[in-house]
């Protein structure tokens, strides 16, 4: 093997880890994009109209700001829109019937 060929072989060996690193970076980027798309698909879309009553989880985050008004004091404040849930006034509590099971003999 002459020196020129040995030199070109050495250059290829030095570039190989860099190529592997770039390939791993691209694969990681693709994985993150797919994971984000799958996560975003699971997020429920919420639609609120002016005048709707909502339940608010107490949070200091203001990632998706929504302005709401307290019905009793007419005070307006900004909250994270992801922390709101619809309030259903006509919701009625149901009683649950209890059933007691007897021990069954297994054959």
Per the listing, tokens 């290829």 go with 12
Q: Three-state DSSP class for 106?
A: coil
The neighbour count for residue 79, using CB atoms within 10 Å, is: 20
Per-residue pLDDT of the chain (107 residues; tens, 9 = 90+): 688 888 888 888 888 999 999 999 999 999 999 999 998 888 777 777 877 777 676 656 556 667 777 777 777 877 777 777 777 777 677 777 776 666 655 54
Quote the pTM value. 0.41
Could you give the CA distance from residue 54 to residue 69 in angstroms, rounded to a whole number? 10
Could you give the CA distance from residue 18 to residue 15 in angstroms, rounded to a whole number? 5
């Amino acid at each position: 093997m002459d020196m020129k060929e040995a030199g070109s072989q050495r250059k290829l060996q030095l570039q190989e880890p860099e190529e592997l690193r770039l390939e791993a970076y691209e694969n990681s980027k693709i994985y993150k994009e797919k994971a984000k798309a799958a996560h975003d698909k699971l997020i429920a879309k919420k639609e609120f109209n002016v005048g709707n009553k909502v339940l608010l989880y107490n949070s200091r985050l203001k990632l998706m700001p929504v302005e709401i008004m307290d019905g009793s004091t007419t005070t307006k404040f900004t909250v994270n829109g992801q922390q709101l849930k619809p309030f259903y006034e006509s919701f009625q509590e149901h009683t649950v019937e209890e059933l007691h099971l007897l021990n069954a003999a297994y054959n």
